[in-house]
Structure 1
Amino acid sequence: MILTKCAVCATDLGLSLGKKCGRCSTRYCGPECQVQHWKDGGHDKLCKYIKKAGGAEQYNANSKYSEAVAVAVEKCADDTKGQTCFICTQALHWKTKEGLVRGCACRGTAGFAHVSCLAEQARILFAEAEENNKPRYPVVARWQTCSLCEQEYHGVVRCALGWACWKTYVGRPETVGIRLMAMSMLGNGLFLADHHEEALSLREAELAILRRNGASEHNILAVQANLAMTYEELGRGEQASQMERDVYRGRLKLNGEEHEMTLRAAFNYASTLARLKRFAEAKSVMRRTMPVARRVLGDSHDLWLKLRRAYAQTLYHDASATLADVREAVTTLEETKRTARRVFGDAHPTAEITELMLQKARAALAARERQDSETSESKIQ
């Protein structure tokens, strides 16, 4: 369930509390709010349309999807001007009349598309895999990955695709794999578009569903990792670090140190430790993880670049860092920036964030060199 609050007073209902409209399944904390919504909230006029759309959950998903597409199109408007969709070859979608987006690592004239076209492409691929009893996971990835550059979409485009995925599969039973995968896709999209309160509600609902239905340790750890990142974005750093520590230990036990999920868990845990200014602990985790990540993933992998960037950040942020540490941070970020630009292009968040960190590291180095120079001069005098 994504709708976990009363439609009138926003009381948190979790997955099972309260009551529902008997016709459209809109949720309420009790009969008082339901009556008020019917009399004064306009539900008497909307109820039949909500039911026709497939119920409250489907109606909400459709509405949120339309809003997310509009936001993504507006955000991409300058970049997509004068271009056409690589799928349908039109500038405006023939049915929805929506504009274009591009939120991957494609460059030049490649990668422009309508969210509707991307969603339809992903839906067809998954339906074909289901019909022919083929592996689902490779085609599910198309809901978040560009078919041209093979890089994941980011920001508001990823959010719009998350809602597209959710509205496509929300009608499936809650224990069906693709519905749970759609919840995860939507959570990732909300997170990347900075809708952290919504992401938190979804992650908590997702975790409750998995636990109630006896899900595997792998799936529970995956949701806990996402939930921990959301806690941190909402300023709940200690809670995030405790959960990320448990996820990291769980991944080591379940998958071993060379698995990509373990490496991601280590990165998340170390990053949170660094933001809590527990630099010694953060560096310890990253120094143990980085050689393994480079050997397993290679120099061009996004996770390896993030690890290097995070490690550099701990070096120049630490108040006890030496001049050599700050210089190492600058060198590391310069190398990471070159690789990020080559692999993803200048406009990709990986390259942009690395550039910002490099500027801060260079400023920290200049300040440190100036401070050391002044200290040396005072000693000579």
Structure 2
Amino acid sequence: MILTQCAVCATDLGLTLGKKCGRCSTRYCGAECQVQHWQEGGHDNLCKKIKKAGGAEQYNANTKYTEAVAVAAEACADDTEGQTCFICTQALHWKTKEGLVRGCACRGTAGFAHVSCLAEQAKILFEEAVENNWGEKVVNERWARWYSCSLCEQRYHGDVKCALGWACWKTYAGRPETDWARRLAIEVLGNGLFGSKDNEAALSVQLAELAMKRRLGSREENILVAQNNLANTYEKLGRVEEALRMRQEVYSGRLKLYGEENERTLISANNYASTLVTLERFEEAKSVLRKTMPVARRVLGEGNDLTLRLRWNYAKGLYKNSAATLDDLREAVNTLEDAGRTARQVLGGAHPLTEGIKGDLRWSSRAILTAASRK
């Protein structure tokens, strides 16, 4: 996690509380823990090393990045065997000796790369756009290389997403808190940790991000983004009522800011409906989705990731309802079959969305058989 806790007792310090080592900025809740860490925790041997790396936050980011890259390369080892990086054209990275990864929608021999190469590419492309003053649209497109593939344009997922999250944070952590690239990087890190299912660490990062944005007076949309990401993590940790309250606030806020056809509003509607399904408030979920799905299909298209997710949630709202009729169940199966075919064509069979739809198709098909046998 980023450094929001005491290095000795793990007391939550947020971004402003407690004490720091005067040399390396390692954080403590007070003098007692600082002395204990020096005398018993090995800090006397690490302090100079941490300072040399750029301070406690940078040292922690560097360490976590190295660990995350190793995990991602190991997770992708079977898929990447015999392949080469599309950026440096080597199988083993010349400097870091890391293996290859692929965590997007590329198929065949496309999309294999080293995390280090992906990170260097993202850094160079982003800095080029900023230095040449190429405008917000281009800058945002270049920034997207930190979390999406330059070949297939799909977002990275799983351990690869986490490794790139640490790569991004490592790159910008040393900048001032007010620097906007640093503020974007903490969001990429939180999403990366969430993507690798390290939800406790993601929660710590996202709470720190939201507190920072509020303290710095960020734009309303930036606050809503942080709230949305935090709601995702609350739900994964089983804190669903907290997640629902935050999702409702985000959906309402974006509806007022952008209107119903904006992609950010559609994302919020999908997230809100998904949490309603989790809480078995099926009629409310279906009401939101029936208004939203036609808009997404018209504005974004049938093969868009978000359109597919809206349809997936709608089908879950149908078949998971204990009061579902046979017609409801048939509609759910038909929706999942159609969305599943599109997902395979656009994202590939191994993508988490494709696999998720496939799993719910099995369950909804069984629900039809069970309901039919009762008649």
Using the alignment, how far apart are the partners of 1:252 and 1:147 within structure 2? 31
Corresponding position of 2:163: 160
TM-score (norm 2): 0.98
Using the alignment, how far apart are the partners of 2:273 and 2:231 within structure 1? 12
Residue among 355, 367, 374 paired with 1:371:
374
Corresponding position of 1:115: 115
Using the alignment, how far apart are the partners of 2:244 and 2:147 within structure 1? 27
Q: Does 1:251 align with 2:258?
A: no
After TM superposition, list the pairs within 5 Å mapping 1:133-144 onto structure 2.
Answer: 133-135=133-135, 136-144=139-147
Corresponding position of 2:276: 273
Corresponding position of 2:303: 300
Greater shift in the superposed pair: 362-371 or 128-137: 128-137
Equivalent residue pairs, number? 372
Corresponding position of 2:84: 84
Q: Does 1:194 align with 2:197?
A: yes
Q: Does 1:55 align with 2:58?
A: no
Greater shift in the superposed pair: 288-297 or 19-28: 288-297
Q: CA deviation at 1:173?
A: 1.1
Corresponding position of 1:317: 320
> What per-residue deviation string (whole Å, max 9, x for no partner) do you get for residues 232-251 of structure 1?
11111111111110110000
**Displaced runs of 4 or more, over 6 A:** none
> What per-residue deviation string (whole Å, max 9, x for no partner) do you get for residues 256-278 of structure 1?
11000000000000000000001
Unpaired runs of 5+ residues, structure 2, are none
Q: CA deviation at 1:2?
A: 2.1
Q: Does 1:327 align with 2:330?
A: yes
Q: CA deviation at 1:213?
A: 1.0
Using the alignment, how far apart are the partners of 1:148 and 1:28 within structure 2? 44
Using the alignment, how far apart are the partners of 1:71 and 1:2 within structure 2? 19
Q: CA deviation at 1:160?
A: 0.3
Greater shift in the superposed pair: 172-181 or 92-101: 172-181
Using the alignment, how far apart are the partners of 1:151 and 1:228 within structure 2? 23
TM-score (norm 1): 0.97
Using the alignment, how far apart are the partners of 1:285 and 1:291 within structure 2? 11
Specify the code of the residue in structure 1 equivalent to 2:241: E
Specify the code of the residue in structure 1 equivalent to 2:172: Y
Using the alignment, how far apart are the partners of 1:205 and 1:134 within structure 2? 31
> What per-residue deviation string (whole Å, max 9, x for no partner) do you get for residues 190-229 of structure 1?
1111011111111111111111111111100111111111
The CA RMSD over aligned residues, in Å, is 0.8
> What per-residue deviation string (whole Å, max 9, x for no partner) do you get for residues 113-165 of structure 1?
00000000001111111221223211000111111111111111011000000
Using the alignment, how far apart are the partners of 2:311 and 2:198 within structure 1? 27
> What per-residue deviation string (whole Å, max 9, x for no partner) do you get for residues 17-66 of structure 1?
11000000000011111111111101000000000000000000000001
Q: CA deviation at 1:370?
A: 1.1
Q: Which of 1 and 2 has greater Rg?
A: 1
Percent identity of the aligned residues? 68
Corresponding position of 1:125: 125
Secondary structure of residue in 1 paired with 2:22: coil
Using the alignment, how far apart are the partners of 2:327 and 2:235 within structure 1? 30
Secondary structure of residue in 1 paired with 2:3: coil
Corresponding position of 1:362: 365
Using the alignment, how far apart are the partners of 2:308 and 2:327 within structure 1? 21
After TM superposition, list the pairs within 5 Å mapping 1:87-98 onto structure 2.
Answer: 87-98=87-98
Using the alignment, how far apart are the partners of 1:89 and 1:343 within structure 2? 26
Corresponding position of 1:343: 346
Q: CA deviation at 1:166?
A: 0.4
Secondary structure of residue in 2 paired with 1:107: coil
Using the alignment, how far apart are the partners of 1:151 and 1:211 within structure 2? 30
Secondary structure of residue in 2 paired with 1:35: helix
Using the alignment, how far apart are the partners of 1:177 and 1:40 within structure 2? 38
Unpaired runs of 5+ residues, structure 1, are 373-381
Specify the code of the residue in structure 2 equivalent to 1:237: V
Specify the code of the residue in structure 1 equivalent to 2:7: A
> What per-residue deviation string (whole Å, max 9, x for no partner) do you get for residues 283-307 of structure 1?
1111111111111110000000000
Using the alignment, how far apart are the partners of 1:108 and 1:243 within structure 2? 40
Using the alignment, how far apart are the partners of 2:214 and 2:350 within structure 1? 40
